[in-house]
Amino acid sequence: MNPIRAIGASSFDLLQSAGRLAIFAVRGVTAAVTPPFFGRQLVRQLYAIGYFSLPVVGLTAVFTGAALALNIYTGGARFNAEQIMPQIVALGITRELGPVLAALMLAGRVSAAIAAEIGAMRATEQIDALQTLSTDPYRYLIGPRLTAGVLTLPLLTLTGDIIGIAGGWLVAVASLKFNGTIYIANTWNFLQPWDVISGLVKSAVFGFIVALMGCYHGFNSHGGARGVGRATTNAVVSAAVLVFATDYIMTSLLR
């Protein structure tokens, strides 16, 4: 095949996919913010996306904070600057690691689950049945999941920030012989409100991306069980890549 033709075809396919995703996102957001609302579905998704993701986010945060404290202490000791470790741990977790790691955990757990659930409904024609019953699948399936993703990930991130800083404090006090009271005072005095707020703003966007990727790939899956598996894989990969790309853009804008 002509290489120029191949590049053009690939570019055209990419633009088509981006257009389909944009149209899907607009329809999903419209369904999420306009009545009628399905409150029971929203509550169910708040539990599934938020509450049941708390253990994995908490464990990830505490070990990340502990490992970050050890590495920053080792690097700072080479310049006799190990005392800045509490401030750097707090800043790194609240602005960057907390939102990104929470989003990645949800990409692996929630985005895959959403894609598998909606993909199975597509394979068993349950989505067609909803349309037959005059129920808009965007309002019943997509809207509540997008809303739950936007609402719950900032709360998970805030919890992960606290747990991650506590993990760094625990290592600093138990292993590195820091004074616990001074560690907390340094952290409290150094952090600015914008450090936390910027991380929560990122988390809301990441939550939307994670839920959107799961819904999009599940809703557009085809090919039976194999198609559901493919949709699940694509949802996780695309959510993770978009989280990293969006993180760079938002870090540039919110610094």
SS3 104: helix
Residue 219's contacts (CB-CB under 8 Å, 6 or more residues apart) are 24, 118, 119, 122, 127, 137, 141, 142
Residues 204-254: pLDDT tens digits? Answer: 999 999 999 999 999 988 877 788 888 899 999 999 999 999 999 998 888
Strand, helix or coil at 178? coil
Q: What is the pLDDT of residue 215?
A: 93
End-to-end CA distance of the chain: 46
Query: CB–CB of 33/140 below 8 Å?
Result: no
The C-alpha angle 190, 191, 193, rounded to 5 degrees, equals: 140
Contacts of 145 (CB under 8 A, 6+ apart): 45, 49, 114, 211, 214, 215
| Rounded Cα gap, residues 119 and 121, in angstroms | 5
Query: What's the token pair of residue 127?
Result: 């989505």
pLDDT tens digits, 140-150? 999 999 999 99
CA gap 81, 23 in Å, rounded: 51
- 47 pLDDT more than 80: yes
The answer for residues whose C-beta is within 8 angstroms of residue 239's C-beta and 6 or more apart is 103, 107, 111, 209, 210, 213, 214
In this prediction, residue 81 has a pLDDT band, given cuts at 50, 70 and 90, of confident
Q: Can you give the pLDDT at residue 248? A: 92
Mean pLDDT over 81-98 rounds to: 87
Place of tokens 């464990």: 59
The packing angle between helices 3-33 and 193-219, to 10°, is 110
Instruction: Quote the distance between the C-alpha of residue 251 and its chain's center.
Output: 15
Cα(102)–Cα(120) distance, integer angstroms: 26
pLDDT attached to residue 222:
83
Query: Above pLDDT 70, what percent of the chain?
Result: 100
Give the pLDDT mean for 105-115. Answer: 90
What's residue 1's pLDDT? 59
- pTM score: 0.91
| Rounded-to-integer distance, Cα 153 and Cα 236, Å | 16
Q: Are 220 and 114 in contact (CB under 8 A)?
A: no
Output the pLDDT for position 212.
Answer: 94
Residues composing the chain:
255
